[in-house]
Structure 1
Amino acid sequence: MRALLDHIWLSPRELPALADEVADALLDRVSAMSALPEERRRAEMRSEVEAALRGALSRPEPETLAEGDGEYGSLTRERARQELFAALTTGPALSEESLASLAPLAQRAAWKLPTGVQAVVLGAPGELRFSTDTLGDALIGITDGRPCALIPDPDPEARPELRRALPRGRAAAVGHTVPLADARSSLRWARRLVELAPDAQVLFVEDHLPALLLLQDESLVRALSTRWLRPLESLKPAQSARLETTLLAWLEGGGAPEAAKTLKVHPQTVHYRLRQLEKLFGPVLRDPRSRFELEMTLHSRRLLGQVRDVQARISRRARTAAMALRPMDVAREARVNGR
């Protein structure tokens, strides 16, 4: 079983075909499934098998260390690399002593411990391989069913090569460069970014640091909104949205002319809205600290709205795909039942 997992860990495209083979082999032995139509039986069995294999891949079994010399017994090179990836990316932060203790495992994995690493995460299951000529000997692993990689001592100028190396048409996020002992931090933020923006594009954490900081906790965003935007609650939604947009443009630009350019409206329109905002917020708009918190609140709300829009589009596409497949499933079952 371990050899099988080692194989499909590095070649996840083979997993569906393997699940088909296992499902075919098991169908004759599962009497509880015999009352179901053949196609439905096979589909359900295949789904269960594939889910079990993916679950096993996301939770690698710990190896037993050899006694005495501290070396990692009979681990294969690929299994040692998987264990090393898990040791670097899970659990508490690594101390210098803990990092030094991984040297025998790294030697077994034929992976030279680098000074720093950069995490890469795919948004969905898929094959993840890199050329050692351009990006070094990346350490590949799986976290929560997502293929991940740790790029050793990354070159900050290698973004184009990294983009080309990732699968096309797939969502991916690239973490910030961190010391090896803090590899889990780069992985954590790359995972968070790919969850926030799951469209088919490659995103870099370093380009989205403010968004990631502001969106760490939606409940805090709501608390900020309740505290600072209460004066807008009495307005109609359309008017509130206009004033909120104008206020953010004014805070970002530093003045009415700049806000007018951003909003593509006449400066007098901005002046009129600012007079309304002055009546609603009063001296708050003249206090530097209050202005900073207001701008942070408005940025958070805008980013959260963008994330929700993206997630809503994905949900709509998924529902559309499911509805398109449903007639095919009905027709298939009808054929199986002879109707």
Structure 2
Amino acid sequence: MRALLDHVWLSPRELPALADEVVEALVDRVSAMSALPERRRRAELRSEVETALRGALSRPEPENLDEADGEYGSLTRERARQELFAALTAGSPLSAEALASLAPLARRAAWQLPAAVRAVVLGSPGELQLATDALGDPLIGITDGRPCALLPDPDPEARSLLRRALPRGRAAAVGHVVPLGEARSSLRWARRLVDLAPEAQLLFVEDHLPALLLLQDESLVRALSARWLRPLDALKPAQSARLETTLLAWLEGGGAPEAAKTLKVHPQTVHYRLRQLEKLFGPVLRDPRSRFELEMTLHSRRLLAQVRDVQARISRRARTAAMSLKPMDVAREARVNGR
């Protein structure tokens, strides 16, 4: 229901339909309501429900707006905001000329075009209104089923405000600051970070740039692995995993003692494994460029494994939640959704 309210909040024209659904649900579930006269009393109830919903959504009644700002003159403020959000976040970066052409739409939306923005993406609908109310006057929309917001003229250091404003215990990501014409980039990487989030928490793109760059395309990670880690293919999985972990610790730390501390094993164990790696990889381990690509490959594989582990946990939780639903709950949800 909260997700549906968010949807209607973005598109107030759908509020009457929601009011009809609420009335039908009340009549269906509350025995006292079933005795209501069919026409007049239900019409009164529907009017009362719609008024209550408007109050809950903090949205005034739609107004008949006069023609203004050319072709945008017939748009309501909310519809203009939806179209402005879509124009700023779809397609290629916008030129100065393209941004200037959006000025009439921005006036209709009562949203002054800022010099820079950053995107905020929530992991799931349901908290959009609370978050945006606390963030001031962002431009909001829903992309791929996720509520999003563009914050105008953001302060790069305003993390404390964002932490207070965004809901706790929910997945959310804050994009990097970009010029207005590149708003789609900030939105894109915030959405990607939400997908990679290991737990329900607030994350900032600036803190995870290396991971986002390395995981742009899983097929490239597989191609790198096929190129650089082929010497490990002939080994048993357990031995391959040990050597792979040791190689990454050695490349990161710069030496055997540092790798031993990272892995919490005896230095002689690391030396033994390094001799095995030397036999397998040969001069590759002494070439700076090859070492760099090897380290990048190993980092990517580790990050990809972590992402898959997170996705598996989420899938297991979803299956458990689905199995715990009672048949009556499923039937009730089906009636509400019209199935």
Shorter-chain TM-score bucket reads 0.7 to 0.9
Residue 6 of structure 1 deviates from its aligned partner by: 7.8
Residue 257 of structure 1 deviates from its aligned partner by: 1.0
Deviations 1:243-267 (A, max 9, x none): 1000001001111111111111111
Residue 316 of structure 1 deviates from its aligned partner by: 0.6
| Partner residue in 2 for 1:188 | 188
Indicate whether 1:127 and 2:127 are aligned.
yes
Residue 91 of structure 1 deviates from its aligned partner by: 2.3
Q: Which amino acid aligns with 1:260?
A: A
Alignment partners' CA distance in 2, 1:15 and 1:224: 54
Q: Which amino acid aligns with 2:323?
A: M
| Partner residue in 2 for 1:233 | 233
Change (3 A) 1:10 1:120: farther
| Partner residue in 1 for 2:9 | 8
Identity %: 82
Would the aligned equivalents of 2:132 and 2:149 in 1 still touch at CA under 8 Å? Answer: no
| Partner residue in 2 for 1:298 | 298
Q: Which amino acid aligns with 1:275?
A: R
Indicate whether 1:278 and 2:309 are aligned.
no
Alignment partners' CA distance in 2, 1:179 and 1:194: 22
Alignment partners' CA distance in 2, 1:193 and 1:330: 32
| Partner residue in 2 for 1:85 | 85
Change (3 A) 1:205 1:16: farther
Deviations 1:262-313 (A, max 9, x none): 1111111111111110011100000001001100000000000000000000
Would the aligned equivalents of 2:6 and 2:126 in 1 still touch at CA under 8 Å? Answer: no
Alignment partners' CA distance in 1, 2:251 and 2:130: 44
**TM-score (ref. length: structure 2):** 0.77
Change (3 A) 1:10 1:246: farther
Alignment partners' CA distance in 2, 1:297 and 1:96: 39
**Comparing 323-332 and 107-116, the one that deviates more:** 323-332
Change (3 A) 1:237 1:123: same
SS of match in other structure, 1:273: helix
Change (3 A) 1:265 1:16: farther
| Partner residue in 2 for 1:176 | 176
Alignment partners' CA distance in 2, 1:91 and 1:136: 27
Change (3 A) 1:176 1:16: farther
| Partner residue in 1 for 2:45 | none
| Partner residue in 2 for 1:30 | none
Alignment partners' CA distance in 2, 1:244 and 1:19: 60
Change (3 A) 1:244 1:176: same
User: Unaligned 5+ residue runs, structure 2?
Assistant: 29-65, 333-339
Aligned residues: 289
Deviations 1:66-113 (A, max 9, x none): 999636212222221111111100123211111001111111211111
Alignment partners' CA distance in 1, 2:265 and 2:83: 58
| Partner residue in 2 for 1:325 | 325
Residue 194 of structure 1 deviates from its aligned partner by: 0.7
SS of match in other structure, 1:245: helix
Deviations 1:126-177 (A, max 9, x none): 2324789985521111111110000111111111110111112111111110
User: Unaligned 5+ residue runs, structure 1?
Assistant: 28-65, 333-339
Would the aligned equivalents of 1:139 and 1:150 in 2 still touch at CA under 8 Å? Answer: yes
| Partner residue in 2 for 1:72 | 72
Indicate whether 1:165 and 2:160 are aligned.
no
Alignment partners' CA distance in 2, 1:144 and 1:330: 25
Alignment partners' CA distance in 2, 1:330 and 1:149: 33
Change (3 A) 1:318 1:17: farther
SS of match in other structure, 1:220: helix
Change (3 A) 1:211 1:6: closer
Q: State the superposition RMSD in angstroms.
A: 3.1
Give matches, 1:44-83, under 5 Å: 70=70, 72-83=72-83
**TM-score (ref. length: structure 1):** 0.77
Alignment partners' CA distance in 1, 2:20 and 2:261: 57
Would the aligned equivalents of 1:130 and 1:138 in 2 still touch at CA under 8 Å? Answer: no
| Partner residue in 2 for 1:32 | none
Residue 226 of structure 1 deviates from its aligned partner by: 0.8
Give matches, 1:92-171, under 5 Å: 92-129=92-129, 135-171=135-171
SS of match in other structure, 1:86: helix
